[in-house]
């Protein structure tokens, strides 16, 4: 298995980056939709239904599959012989960042389901603040991998 992963490494890495870009785009955009849903639309009416549908499709059709692909290709990268030395700090900081990103993803999914039910307890300002979470985690993850501190 190790030989196959070593040969496929550049392809796996490429697919990992592509799926990560898709995941990040959705993680950046969904909270922005929720800001506008909260501040401009409300929880009833036709526009609410349109926003709820857009949030649902973004979360279910793009964000969740992209997250699963990112995890899949990331695990394959970790399983590739000679790629990760677990005595370094960077694999652990990257892993912590990815787990935190996944927790944020799950938080967004709960918020999306709340909008689907016509419920929301988060303010537009809180969504704006939460929109910074993926940026901070992305910085941690990228520098963990590139600088390997």
Q: Is the pLDDT of residue 85 over 80?
A: yes
Number of domains present in the structure of the chain: 1
**pLDDT single digits (tens) 97-120:** 999 999 999 999 999 999 999 999
Domain extent for 129:
2-147
Length of the chain (residues): 149
The average pLDDT across 50-73 equals 98
Q: Is the pLDDT of residue 89 over 90?
A: yes
- Please give the pLDDT value at position 149: 81
- Phi, psi dihedral angles at 60 (to 5 degrees): -85, -30
Bin 33: left if φ > 0, else alpha if -120 < ψ < 50, else beta: alpha
pLDDT, the chain, mean: 97
pLDDT band at 7 (very low <50, low <70, confident <90, very high): very high
Among 32, 66, 25, residue whose Cα is nearest residue 51: 32
Sign of the dihedral through C-alpha 127, 107, 84, 13: negative
The average pLDDT across 123-147 equals 97
Percent of the chain residues past pLDDT 70, beyond the cut: 100
């Amino acid at each position: 298995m190790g030989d196959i992963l070593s040969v496929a490494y550049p392809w796996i890495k490429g697919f990992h980056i592509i799926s990560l870009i898709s995941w990040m785009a959705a993680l950046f955009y969904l909270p922005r939709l929720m800001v506008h849903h909260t501040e401009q639309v409300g929880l009833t009416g036709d526009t609410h239904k349109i926003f709820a549908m857009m949030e649902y499709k973004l979360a279910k059709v793009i964000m969740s599959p992209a997250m699963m692909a990112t995890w899949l290709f990331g695990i394959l990268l970790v399983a590739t012989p000679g790629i990760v030395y677990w005595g370094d700090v960077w694999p652990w900081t990257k892993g912590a960042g990815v787990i935190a990103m996944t927790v944020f993803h799950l938080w967004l999914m709960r918020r999306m389901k709340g909008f689907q039910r016509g419920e929301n307890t988060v303010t537009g300002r809180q969504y704006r603040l939460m929109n910074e979470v993926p940026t901070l985690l992305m910085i941690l993850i990228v520098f963990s991998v590139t600088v390997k501190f």
